[in-house]
């Protein structure tokens, strides 16, 4: 069923829900899902509504125009999206295949409702797997002595393919600040630890040395600061002193796949609202 997704963040006050509901009722709008959250700490209000597109007497642009005065009245940060428009998602990878293969399987089976115009990788290892799915595989090697050339090509490809979202499926390179800024809240990364613990490289080794009893994975938006962007989704698995680093890596890969796929799905369905460096996720 085609829906319009109305997503709102604004300073909290009395009457927001009533005003939005009365607006939709006036046009016979049929709400299929409604989510609200009032954050007492920040004083902000968050809302996500799904409305049946066929219940309204107009299309997406007319809906935006009609709603704009209400948004201005309540100083809203808002957007309306059409579920019929599939986001264009570029996947980026290096050598490890578990996250990429999981996303490709979910896309192939229809679980992830998006288009994948290409996969960009800095190694050739995963080409055959990607091309089996009928998706172009673009190899952009990264010279450690001069990364600027590679990222200029990545940026060109991203714009050429009109990407809405980038997903770093264990892409083991740090993106340049300008790309992080241009695609703020549209680059999704999977980090193989339960952030903010064990930031950076070799987190399973860090976890083993620390003797932790839980390891996890974190799906987050990429910012200029390494592994510090707004968190979308997390999960953990229990470990013990008996588990080697290899055991932790094996267990962690399963968590990484699940966390990344859930985080991407929430993003594609407009369920993630970012405020400062935190998220509200209407899962």
Per the structure, the count of domains in the chain is 2
Rounded to two decimals, the pTM is 0.95
Q: What percent of the chain has pLDDT over 70?
A: 100
Q: Which of 121, 83, 80 is nearest to 101 (CA)?
A: 121
- 275: domain CATH number is 3.40.50.170
Phi-psi region for residue 75, left (φ > 0), alpha (ψ -120 to 50) or beta? left
Q: What is the CATH number of the domain that holds 67?
A: 3.30.70.260
Residue 5 has pLDDT above 90, yes or no: yes
Q: Report the C-alpha dihedral over residues 194, 281, 283, 193, rounded to 10 degrees.
A: -10
Instruction: Examine the domain organization and report whether 106 and 218 are in the same domain.
Output: yes
Query: 157 in helix, strand or coil?
Result: helix
Catalytic residues: 227
Query: What pLDDT, on the 0 to 100 scale, is given for residue 200?
Result: 81
Tell me the per-residue pLDDT of 188-233, one tens digit each, with 9 for 90 and over.
999 999 988 888 888 898 889 899 999 999 999 999 998 899 999 9
Q: Are 169 and 189 in contact (CB under 8 A)?
A: no
**Predicted confidence (pLDDT) at residue 36 exceeds the cutoff of 90:** yes
> Does residue 73 have a pLDDT over 90?
yes
Do residues 228 and 124 share a domain? yes
DSSP-based three-state secondary structure for 121: strand
Reference 68, options 8, 25, 28; nearest CA is: 8
Residues 122 and 107 in one domain: yes
Domain holding 77, by residue range, is: 3-82
Question: Same domain for 61 and 179?
Answer: no
Q: Are residues 122 and 209 in the same domain?
A: yes
């Amino acid at each position: 069923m085609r829906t319009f997704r109305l997503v709102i963040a604004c300073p909290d006050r009395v009457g927001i829900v009533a005003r939005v509901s009365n607006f939709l009722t006036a046009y016979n709008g049929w709400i299929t899902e409604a989510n609200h959250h009032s954050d007492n700490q920040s004083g902000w209000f968050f809302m996500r509504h799904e409305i049946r597109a066929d219940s309204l007497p107009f299309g997406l642009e007319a809906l935006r125009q009609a709603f704009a005065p209400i948004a201005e009245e309540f100083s809203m940060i808002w957007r309306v999206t059409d579920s019929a428009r599939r986001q264009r998602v570029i996947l980026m990878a290096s050598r490890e295949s578990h996250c990429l293969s999981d996303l490709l399987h979910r896309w192939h089976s229809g679980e992830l409702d998006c288009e994948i115009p290409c996969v960009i990788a800095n190694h050739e290892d995963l080409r055959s797997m990607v091309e089996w799915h009928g998706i172009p595989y673009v190899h952009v090697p990264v010279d450690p002595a001069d990364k600027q050339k590679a990222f200029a090509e990545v940026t060109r490809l991203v714009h050429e393919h009109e990407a809405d979202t980038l997903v770093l499926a264990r892409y083991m390179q740090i993106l340049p600040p300008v790309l992080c800024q241009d695609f703020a809240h549209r680059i999704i990364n999977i980090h193989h630890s339960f952030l903010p613990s064990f930031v950076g490289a070799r987190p399973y080794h860090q976890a083993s040395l620390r003797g932790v009893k839980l390891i996890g994975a974190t799906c987050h938006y990429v910012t200029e600061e390494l592994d510090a962007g707004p968190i979308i989704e997390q999960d953990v698995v229990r470990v013990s002193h008996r588990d080697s680093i290899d055991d932790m890596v094996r267990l962690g890969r399963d968590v990484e796949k699940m966390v990344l796929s859930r985080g991407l799905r929430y993003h594609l369905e407009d369920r993630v609202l970012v405020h400062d460096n935190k998220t509200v996720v209407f899962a």
